[in-house]
Amino acid sequence: MLFLILGAASCAAPFLSLAANRIVVGEGVALWRAAPVQHSAPALFLLGLGLLLGLLQSRPVLRVAGAVLSLAGLFWLLSMGAAALLADAGRYARVSPAAGFWCLLVICALLLADALSQLQPGPRTRAAALALTLLCVAGLLKAGLLSDLSIAQEFAPRKAAVLDAFIRHLWLAFGSLGLAALIGLPLGVLCHRHSRLREALLPLLSFLQTIPSLAMFGIMIPLLGWIGTQFPAAQAIGIAGIGFAPAFLALVLYSLLPVVANTVAGLESIPPAVRDAARGIGMTTWQRLFRIEIPLGLPVILTGLRIVLVQNTGLAVIAGLIGGGGFGTFVFQGLNQTATDLILLGALPTVALAMVAAIVMDILIEITQPQRGSET
């Protein structure tokens, strides 16, 4: 019901926005006037039908179908609307999705998520659903159906740069996660074993976590700058006050707390009787660690890595500010030029990346759960 009311409300908001060029504020175009009627009628029909199907609380399969239908209608309208509006407009005109589109998109996505979770899919189904979604998005982009949108027009001349930023962003988010895991997992194991170390280390890491990201970069710049000038070898491998290194290092520092704290929590979640039995049957310290403690603590440890991955994907945007590369580059360029579309070119892929990473990690966490619940 909520979906329907929200849907109706967002129909009233402008669906697309048409601007004379990339800087000026656009003019809203309503939903029903977005595209010629021969396109908008079937698209709107799909959208409405999908949302109505979404009302069938007790039939999750139909709800999923409804969500997919309404998404299809939505993107059809977007694609056709953009083409139609551009056809009658000036050379520098830009069409971008407006509030109405975004609201409808959120509604459809929520409906899809809600209906899917109602189905309680297993990890394999979820992985398949994710892959299918990614394929659809890729197909949509590849087919050029959205190429009339302003964001695509921002993308077209920057293809290489976007790809470059994507790879940089992955390095920043995943690389820092990898390094943090490499340092944090052993630290977590040590903290678990030695309460003295834990009492000293965890507050320190919590403190690091509370430093605002801009301040953290601020600290990194002079610090690494100094190292770079003092040690030519360090400079040779790219350590300097600005650029990739300080951004990467800051992300690693932020990641340590979730990794270490969750490793400790994961190891502590193991029932004492299990730990005792492992010792009692004659496992060595290493055998206990790799055969019992890590496998049983893994879901909690992975939850820590998931937090880090999502957090770093977002934080890596700020790296753009100090020349660290990644999607943040476009966000800050866009901010400087007050070009919303350019900001979106940086922000949308970041959000998508974070979401995909979160879903993949959730699937992994579920797979590693010990069989059929826990020790009784």
Q: Which positions touch other proteins (CB under 8 A)?
A: 271, 273-284, 287, 292, 295-296, 370-376
Kindly state the smallest distance separating residue 150's Cβ from other proteins, in Å. Answer: 52
d(CA 310, CA 320): 17
Q: Which of 33, 23, 24, 26 minimizes the C-alpha distance to 97?
A: 26
Please state, in angstroms and rounded to a whole number, the distance separating the CA atoms of residues 120 and 40.
Answer: 34
Question: Minimum distance from CB of 185 to other proteins (Å)?
Answer: 19
Q: Which is nearer to other proteins, 157 or 282 (CB)?
A: 282
72 or 283: whose CB is closer to other proteins? Answer: 283
Cα 105 to Cα 51, 84, 100, 299, distances in angstroms: 12, 21, 8, 32
What is the DSSP code (8-state) at residue 270?
S
314: which 2 tokens?
């977002």
Containing 94, the helix (H) or strand (E) segment is strand 94-97
CB 376 → other proteins: shortest distance, Å? 6
- Work out how close the CB of 288 gets to other proteins at its nearest, in angstroms, rounded to a whole number: 10
We find the least distance from the C-beta atom of residue 278 to other proteins, in angstroms, to be 7
Q: E strands along 62-194, which residues?
A: 94-97
Toward other proteins, which CB reaches closer, 159 or 372?
372
Task: Give the residue with the Cβ less far from other proteins, 202 or 274.
Answer: 274
Instruction: Give the residue with the Cβ less far from other proteins, 39 or 275.
Output: 275
204 versus 273: smaller Cβ distance to other proteins: 273
State the minimum distance, in angstroms, from the CB of residue 277 to other proteins.
3
SS3 state of residue 147: coil
Nearer to other proteins, 182 or 279 (CB): 279
Shortest Å, Cβ 360 to other proteins: 22
Contact 224, 249 (CB under 8 A): yes
Residue 151 neighbours by CB under 8 Å, 6+ apart: 96, 341, 344, 345, 348
Single-letter amino acid, residue 300: V
Count CB neighbours of 220 within 10 A.
21
